[in-house]
Structure 1
């Protein structure tokens, strides 16, 4: 329509304006109600008294039309006199959009309003309705409505949202018709991989089965991405010449189904033949080949080749300071299925570190971050040390993000900037709160500062009180309360040495779910000293601690005689040595690395006191990345306690709270084993109450999948088994009986973990216990467990 008007008007003006300029004597404007005369004249470029020619009329029409404010634009010649020509610009203003309405839609209307170019209160531009209808059609086709019909009308609204005389409603009438579903995906030319395997490589293009309600219909955009993913899969398998020759969509209008046929040309699988190096002076050929990890005859893989070259092989240059070095792998096909690789190096110059900056730390003091760095100004740049520095800052768990930024300042110098993002809070509620279906609420409350005053120190003041009760017991609830004050400086004066101290007091009533018929009060203190080690590697730590405490027991004399050897007051003096190694890459959700902890405690004996025993605990944890973002977690824990030999005239015993118990969430002083009630695993009384044991073992496997990185939320599937035994002889617990491996209680289930600022870890687990613990021959069945405030 626009072109028609322009052509007609030019015919009117042709005789007057052809080949000459005339004076525009007067410009009139008609038809405008909201747009001013001045704006229309200015936009058209036609003003009284100016000289115009034929092209100016065409330009004026185009400019006015492009404003998007008018449905119709016309320029009329009114008069031609000695003073010049008089014209009138006639416009028909576009209506203002009052509301967008839909008829016949079965999906959320906001899906359309978010995508179409129509805004309430704005003019309805010419052709905008056609464009909007086309977009609505595309959205429907993404959902499988390939026969959808969309039309639009403009109507005068009954109630106006927009104050304008020309306010109008736009109504889209939709006839959805039947929905088509992708029933089959077929492949031709796939000689080396099954159709089932290839379908798995299509991330978003899936066959719609009756049970797969979440599968979307065929989408052109995501299908193009899936074809690229299919090509990448083949290239990673060695088929460098792979291509999708064609894709055909067959429509079954009787069954409203689609069949997608992909015609493939796989080509030959390539293998490495000769590998040569050129221009390498810093690293010799044998070193490069060892890092490359590619042998003659290996199948080519695009993904593995890229990693081997740019991450593994080039690391030798980056660790020696040649961060601007580069390599150009010349891939030369040789024969139908072989590749010769010639690596051409440009080694560049050695780079040194000029300055190291720290930014983003508004709470944590800078020295706390700097003491974790493995690089210093003046050092040769080393990528491995840079990554290790980033990891060591991460593992502090003070920051949501740590970014090492390398800024070149010359050909041989760079500045490093460690940009950190502080966590909202490094203070958390650290006392344990748990709930199990068998025993109800356990735990108390307290607050722990992991980064006290930004100095990287730990300070804890905990005051806890609570009640352990059983929903199925008539006994009085057992109460407990505790007070604990502790302080630890992991790197005193930025040195590798650790110092710490704590004082504690607690009262525990006789327990109904852990059999100990005496109330007792404990008071004591602990002093600790440790340091970071550099051998066997710098992930190792060692710490020594001395504990002094006194316990007072209350109950019947018969119980005191039986359980405490007649002592109503005991004193314990113990010395502990702890070796640990922690190479995890993160604190809250590790995806790689391991954690090892060995603790040996010697109490009594030549140290004095009434509690004479030795206790040893080994705890091993591994974190392994697997497919997608799933992390495999494995844990092995072993513990043993044994009474020391003392003189016959010395009354001595192993305290019940030092013995091992297991089951449930392990709160407040046991070992968790999901799928079973609290403290239910191990030696028991005739009435089924736990009494603790002298050795324990536990194995756990989890598959963890992250749902959120900040805050950290992940789900898991777990399987674990464990047990507690009376004997402290390690050969007995691991005697393999015919009825089950290691005589352990087994369970499996699912769970979820949330790491919330100011709280710590929240967890919920549902576990199924496969073994009988009640003597009735039936498995324990399902048990649920909630944990709150536990540390990492």
Structure 2
């Protein structure tokens, strides 16, 4: 409601002035009249016009609307007054006055007649509040809110009457809600009539509207929809449920609910035909059909088919296509045929691409992950992949897509709306594992340094058996090209287990690496990493140090330098690299140490690994992974020199339920290894699109062998056999600090070995 009062005489005189002064008059002052409880500064803060601005009727009209939207006023009018210039050089001006009529302020809200719901509870739910402006419309909504609160508790006959009065001393509003609670009524009986294919009991079990429950109309409506879905997914296309009958007893204490169902005939799927399609061949369209001929009709399969067809066209840019579905039923035979008539409208092209919601992240950081380009045909597949790539940056909580079509129906604007997370993190924690004992961690990381997606991470681990620090930096777009640059330095000191000796020797690894990773395509990437590390072995237990030189279990205290180049190629179709729900990942890497790269250790080490992820139902994800590796020395090194590069299978990163060393494969490590893992997990806590906490069950199997000739696929207790384990765990999912707490139970232990292990691990198995 707006009332604009512009004084005619002033308007005419202003018009003359404006014409004489090049149609420009300056606002000399802005005032507010009529306000009593609302401060003038609050009103003036809402308007755009300011002293010194040129007069604009359109701007003043917008200001009136802005004042009205404050919600404090019943009426807003405008008065414009001309004033003379101060001197000959100064233009005459105007004074703008906004005349307001305030809504009354609520002095108090009274609730009378309430016994079952407290006054404080009611006041916390309604919109009208003490010391705020009175709004009659809001008061009527409050009546509905109070009645809804009572109905949720079973008081279906509740009634609420609102009354208003004005306090004579303060002129403020007093609101009174008179509540007639009535009797509490629970459902006495739910009756389902007309069922023949399924028992009444089975139908009732699918409903939330049940005996001894509070009756809620919205719940009953949801039940009816659920029953329609149930019957239509069982082949009953023409099922009909009559309007439910809800009756009460004379005392108004019990309710009786009756549903009448006309099931109709059950149908099987017959012929499926298409017409109107020119963009796609019939064979391509038939691949989208989830309905199977001669099978019982399922509504959900029909819905899936329609979505697949629409998705097929959307991938090609045909956003305006439509599908008319015709079903022809043969009641005598119980067959239903479907015809999909496709109306193919023209292509929709991408006009502009916008990025919104980023306040810290630089826009180009997000834009370079978008594979959809302006001017090309719209592609739903490219939009989905772009959203996945944006989420894979790791520092965004959510990304949504908005497709806006302006007047030109053949073009569309695409808006990527992101929600930024917390890119910086200071983490401190403690954990316990069977291998490292009590372990403390302190980590400082930032995965979006200066809003550029650069990553820096410093982690310090400290405990009785392990002390380490690790500093890394990653530039994802080196020199503004799709090439990653990584730098890393580390220093790790550990008490090492060997065979059944829990503290056979100490080992210190320190060094660094530099890595370049060109991305050839959206899915295919290469990596080249040069690394140098110094390995020092000391405090060797005499049981291992004093053995003969030809004994494979002899450990010698020494220091060696390793200089190596690791080359790898990877192919990745996972939807989310931190928490995949579908897709696969494969990687082949080869490390060459020594030779032309120098150092004391000469070997080559190929490793092949892969993983596969699929969502089975709801958010339950099955993940499978496997890796196979081999290592071999070359002159002048021998097997003793590559002692630290051999494979040790067991522990939290391979076969859970066993020690890291000594229970699977040869005690001195194997040249060949294979490990296979399966996990079935589901989220416990999610925020937007990101999983925070996950529960998983797992099964592992694998082994290590001295040479390829010793390889066996048998599973059992001997050291050279493969071994298996099962267990469960909790995952704390973060892009920079994923933590796994696992309990594993080994299925192939030898006598005397611990049957289970607990693991505190940083990193992902997959």
In the superposition, the TM-score normalised over structure 2's length comes to: 0.69
Q: Does the residue aligned with 1:317 lie in a helix, a strand or coil?
A: helix
**Relative to structure 1, is the Cα distance of residues 727 and 533 closer, same or farther in structure 2, using a 3 angstrom cutoff?**
same
Which digits, 9 at most, give the CA deviation of each residue in 1:86-107, with x for residues without a partner? xxxxxxxxx97565488864x7
For 1:465 and 1:778, locate their aligned partners in 2 and report how far apart those are by CA, in whole Å. Answer: 26
Structure 1 equivalent of residue 24 of structure 2:
none
Structure 1 equivalent of residue 234 of structure 2:
237
Unpaired runs of 5+ residues, structure 1, are 1-94, 155-161, 209-215, 468-476
Higher Rg of the two aligned structures: 1
**Relative to structure 1, is the Cα distance of residues 187 and 621 closer, same or farther in structure 2, using a 3 angstrom cutoff?**
farther
For 1:632 and 1:312, locate their aligned partners in 2 and report how far apart those are by CA, in whole Å. Answer: 22
Q: Is 1:682 paired with 2:663?
A: yes
Structure 2 equivalent of residue 712 of structure 1:
691
Structure 2 equivalent of residue 644 of structure 1:
633
Which digits, 9 at most, give the CA deviation of each residue in 1:620-660, with x for residues without a partner? 43332333x3222323233444443545x857333447533
Structure 2 equivalent of residue 68 of structure 1:
none
Structure 1 equivalent of residue 530 of structure 2:
546
**Relative to structure 1, is the Cα distance of residues 229 and 714 closer, same or farther in structure 2, using a 3 angstrom cutoff?**
farther
CA shift at 1:550, angstroms? 1.9
**Relative to structure 1, is the Cα distance of residues 247 and 433 closer, same or farther in structure 2, using a 3 angstrom cutoff?**
same
Q: Is 1:325 paired with 2:321?
A: yes
Structure 1 equivalent of residue 725 of structure 2:
746
| Aligned counterparts, 1:170-569, within 5 A | 180=186, 187-193=192-198, 198=203, 201-202=206-207, 204-205=208-209, 217-245=214-242, 247=244, 262-292=259-289, 294=291, 296-309=293-306, 311-335=307-331, 337-409=334-406, 411=408, 413-428=410-425, 434-436=431-433, 440-460=437-457, 462=458, 464-467=460-463, 477-482=464-469, 484-509=470-495, 515-534=502-521, 538-555=522-539, 559=544, 566=556, 568-569=558-559
Higher relative contact order (CA 8 A, sep 6+): 1
CA shift at 1:570, angstroms? 0.9
In the superposition, the TM-score normalised over structure 1's length comes to: 0.67
RMSD: 5.0
CA shift at 1:230, angstroms? 1.4
**Relative to structure 1, is the Cα distance of residues 707 and 517 closer, same or farther in structure 2, using a 3 angstrom cutoff?**
closer
For 2:480 and 2:112, locate their aligned partners in 1 and report how far apart those are by CA, in whole Å. Answer: 67
| Contact 2:436/2:466, CA 8 A, preserved across alignment | no
**Relative to structure 1, is the Cα distance of residues 97 and 374 closer, same or farther in structure 2, using a 3 angstrom cutoff?**
closer
For 2:599 and 2:515, locate their aligned partners in 1 and report how far apart those are by CA, in whole Å. Answer: 20
| Aligned counterparts, 1:650-669, within 5 A | 652-656=640-644, 659-663=647-651, 666=652
Q: Does the residue aligned with 1:444 lie in a helix, a strand or coil?
A: strand
Q: Does the residue aligned with 1:749 lie in a helix, a strand or coil?
A: strand
CA shift at 1:449, angstroms? 3.4
Which digits, 9 at most, give the CA deviation of each residue in 1:313-366, with x for residues without a partner? 234433333322323223344545444444333323233333333333333333
**Relative to structure 1, is the Cα distance of residues 526 and 276 closer, same or farther in structure 2, using a 3 angstrom cutoff?**
same
Q: Is 1:699 paired with 2:674?
A: no
Which digits, 9 at most, give the CA deviation of each residue in 1:249-269, with x for residues without a partner? 799999x99886643221123
**Relative to structure 1, is the Cα distance of residues 425 and 224 closer, same or farther in structure 2, using a 3 angstrom cutoff?**
same
Which digits, 9 at most, give the CA deviation of each residue in 1:700-731, with x for residues without a partner? 32230353223633442413234554545497
Deviates more, 1:514-523 or 1:697-706: 514-523
Structure 1 equivalent of residue 562 of structure 2:
572
For 2:661 and 2:429, locate their aligned partners in 1 and report how far apart those are by CA, in whole Å. Answer: 19
| Aligned counterparts, 1:13-32, within 5 A | none
For 1:129 and 1:406, locate their aligned partners in 2 and report how far apart those are by CA, in whole Å. Answer: 38
For 1:779 and 1:109, locate their aligned partners in 2 and report how far apart those are by CA, in whole Å. Answer: 60
Structure 1 equivalent of residue 42 of structure 2:
none
Unpaired runs of 5+ residues, structure 2, are 1-105, 164-168, 548-552
For 2:501 and 2:680, locate their aligned partners in 1 and report how far apart those are by CA, in whole Å. Answer: 28
Number of aligned residue pairs: 646
